[in-house]
Amino acid sequence: MSIIEVEHLTKYYGKSRGIVDVSFNVDEGEIFGFIGPNGAGKSTTIRLLLSLIHPTSGNARVFGKDVVTHGPEIRRDIGYLPSEVYYYEGMKVIDLLKYSASFYACDCTARLKELSELMELELNRRISDLSYGNKKKVGIVQGLLHSPRLLFLDEPTAGLDPLMQRKFFDLVRQENARGVTVFFSSHILGEVQRLCTRVGIIREGKIAEISDIHTLQQNNYKKVHITAQGLDPHAFDIPGVTNLQSEDSSVHFFFKGDINLVLRKIAPLQVSDVSIEEPSLEEIFMHYYE
Amino acid sequence: MSATIYKHEFFSRLKSVLVWSVSLMLLVLFFFSIFQSFADQAALLNEMMAQFPPALLEAFGITKTDLSSVLGYFSFLLVFVQLCLAIQAGNYGFGLVSIEETELTADFLLTKPVSRLQIITSKLLVAFSCLLLTDLAVTASTFIAIALLSGGRPYDTGTLGLLLVSMLILQLFFLSVGMVISLLVHRVRSVTPYSLALGFGAYILAAFSGIFGDVKLEYITPFKQIDAAYIVLHNAYDMPLLLVNLAVTVVALLASYALYLRRDIPTAS
């Protein structure tokens, strides 16, 4: 079942582009990665889904309900962690979290405690005294304390130290194992690769590609690296090869197509080293932006 | 209306309400503490007033005012109270929804399971309650001041009531006009300059309206629409002008709702 259905969603801020004709679905229980550089429209998409802003055209449904008309109902089951967290500066952490919890029908006290302990949050400090990373932790706790069915994470790891990042990822995985759907927006591909099952790539406000993360890696380019004596780089200038680069006795390139063609070229050589690997998402990503 | 938001907002405004209320109470008591000496020397006072250029008296709205009577004196001091109330109400109006955007907490509040209708209604009710509390404080201090410091001079309770109620009408005007302006501009960075400009602007217009008697500025400035001196003189509101005032308030209120419900919340950065 689709938790998020986006159809031809378009948003212009006056004349400047937000997103154009974006369509995609997110299924229940998956971790959907949404990647693109800054300004590509990631936050715009999330803000549309949360009805913080209104679409110029197109529509979007969350839990099968239209986001424009059923906002409050939908938001009951949504947790949101914005990329920049800001809270009422004068409040204490615990008061903010209690205020946040009071919007939901659940008794969130136990969960609040559990999450704060996990994130090592000091509950009695004032928000204004917190560092950026600590505010982010408050954001994580307040986004999760009502046990939402759907999580929107907008570049969530910025400001978190590596240890906290790992804890946070474990937390997201745990939530996901409980059946929570996660919409994970990021421009850091490594973390998307670690966490997500499917990714959508957004570029200049338009969806460039939506695919399973493994298909994205497999059906694409292979990264080939060969070191051999008396290597003739031009021998590898065959159809399917891109980014051919050579130095001294080694050559590396991307290849898409029947890998046997490359293997046959390698076979007669006296190789000292050869590797054929899947490119990182980073490299695939760069390809979409060329 | 959301009780959660109401409670939170009310307590965050409480300090401001206390400061305004106590200041205004002191203002009223202070003014009345010198009333007796004014009243005792009414003849001298009126002689002195005659020395002032009429334009100045017009500007302060005291040409038709008998400063030796309780209500005349009160209507004179009420102008200053009104100015303060206008700035307070303007503050609340300008800040009502824009404060969440200036302090970037709009994302937090608007991703909670409440509708924008509930948010703006709750916030308006909080502002209204706060203004009402301030009014009550001013009303209380007025009655205390009259009882203790007027030397038992007679006055018309009905007219005093009209004067006191006019405060609320004025507050609602600045609350709703402030709010609609805050929703029309792209982003309000700081509330106070706006509310000071609106409050003093309207006040100065009212003063000029007195000087240039034939220019119809009273149609646009609430200080003229609910002129204390007029109320004391006629024991009634200037109905057509009051209706203009109320109409502006209602239109600003409705427009605010319409604008807020459709508003795109700017990104926090």
The mean pLDDT of A222-245, rounded to a whole number, is 82
Residue B213: what pLDDT?
Answer: 62
Q: Is the pLDDT of residue B269 over 70?
A: no
Closest by Cβ to A82, choosing from B113, B114, B268? B268
Residue A49: what pLDDT?
Answer: 93
Residue B240: what pLDDT?
Answer: 86
Minimal CA separation from A84 to chain B, in Å: 7
Residue B238: what pLDDT?
Answer: 86
Distance (Å, whole) CA A83 – CA A66? 24
Closest by Cβ to A87, choosing from B8, B12, B108? B108
Distance (Å, whole) CA A200 – CA A212? 9
Distance (Å, whole) CA A26 – CA A5? 7
Residue B217: what pLDDT?
Answer: 65
Closest by Cβ to A50, choosing from B103, B111, B114? B111
CB contact under 8 A, B113 and A47: no
Sign of the C-alpha dihedral computed for residues A47, A51, A57 and A63 taken in this order: positive
Distance (Å, whole) CA B143 – CA A14? 54
Q: Which residues of A touch B108 (CB under 8 A)?
A: 86-87, 100, 142
Minimal CA separation from B47 to chain A, in Å: 55
CB contact under 8 A, A82 and B105: no
Residue A108: what pLDDT?
Answer: 84
Domain boundaries, given as residue ranges, for chain B: 3-262
Closest by Cβ to A84, choosing from B103, B112, B269? B269
Q: Is the pLDDT of residue B86 over 90?
A: yes
Residue A271: what pLDDT?
Answer: 85
Q: Which residues of A touch B114 (CB under 8 A)?
A: 72, 75, 103
Q: Which residues of A touch B106 (CB under 8 A)?
A: 52
CB-defined contacts A:B, below 8 A:
62
The mean pLDDT of B72-101, rounded to a whole number, is 89
By the 8 A CB rule, do A199 and A34 touch? Answer: yes
Mean pLDDT computed over every residue of chain A? 87
Question: If you search the block for the tokens 């002129």, which residue do you land on?
Answer: B227
Closest by Cβ to A82, choosing from B12, B107, B118? B107
CB contact under 8 A, A72 and B114: yes
Give residue-wise pLDDT tens across range A23-54: 999 999 999 999 888 888 898 999 999 999 99
The mean pLDDT of A98-110, rounded to a whole number, is 88
Minimal CA separation from B237 to chain A, in Å: 43
CB atoms within 10 A of CB B13: 19
Q: Which residues of A touch B115 (CB under 8 A)?
A: 71-72
B69-73: long-range pairs with CB below 8 Å, 24+:
B69/B39, B69/B153, B69/B155, B70/B35, B70/B146, B70/B150, B70/B153, B70/B154, B70/B155, B71/B155, B71/B156, B71/B159, B71/B160, B71/B163, B71/B232, B72/B232, B73/B31, B73/B32, B73/B35, B73/B38, B73/B39
Distance (Å, whole) CA B66 – CA B269? 56
Interface probe for A, chosen from B14, B104, B107 (most Cβ of A below 10 Å), is B107
CB contact under 8 A, B264 and A82: no
Interface probe for B, chosen from A11, A49, A50, A103 (most Cβ of B below 10 Å), is A103
Mean pLDDT computed over every residue of chain B? 86
ipTM of the predicted assembly exceeds 0.90:
no
Distance (Å, whole) CA A74 – CA A139? 19
Give residue-wise pLDDT tens across range A175-214: 999 999 999 998 877 788 788 889 898 888 888 888 887 7
Residue B210: what pLDDT?
Answer: 64
Residue A261: what pLDDT?
Answer: 84
Per the rule left: phi > 0, alpha: psi between -120 and 50, beta: everything else, B259 is alpha
Total residue length of chain A:
290
Interface probe for A, chosen from B11, B108, B110, B265 (most Cβ of A below 10 Å), is B108
Q: Is the pLDDT of residue A105 over 70?
A: yes
Distance from the Cα of residue A10 to its chain's centroid? 20
CB contact under 8 A, A52 and B111: yes
CB contact under 8 A, A50 and B110: yes
Residue B171: what pLDDT?
Answer: 94
Residue B69: what pLDDT?
Answer: 81
Give residue-wise pLDDT tens across range A137-159: 999 999 999 999 999 999 888 88
Q: CA end-to-end span of chain A, whole Å? A: 35
Residue B63: what pLDDT?
Answer: 64
Residue A77: what pLDDT?
Answer: 92
Q: Which residue has the higher pLDDT, B168 or A285?
A: B168
Band of residue B138 on the pLDDT scale cut at 50, 70, 90: very high
Q: Which residue has the higher pLDDT, A268 or B177?
A: B177
Minimal CA separation from B10 to chain A, in Å: 13
Strand partners, B121: none
Closest by Cβ to A52, choosing from B110, B118, B269? B110
Minimal CA separation from B67 to chain A, in Å: 46
Residues 6+ apart with CB under 8 A from A170: none
Q: Is the pLDDT of residue A63 over 90?
A: yes
Helix (H) or strand (E) holding A153: strand A150-154
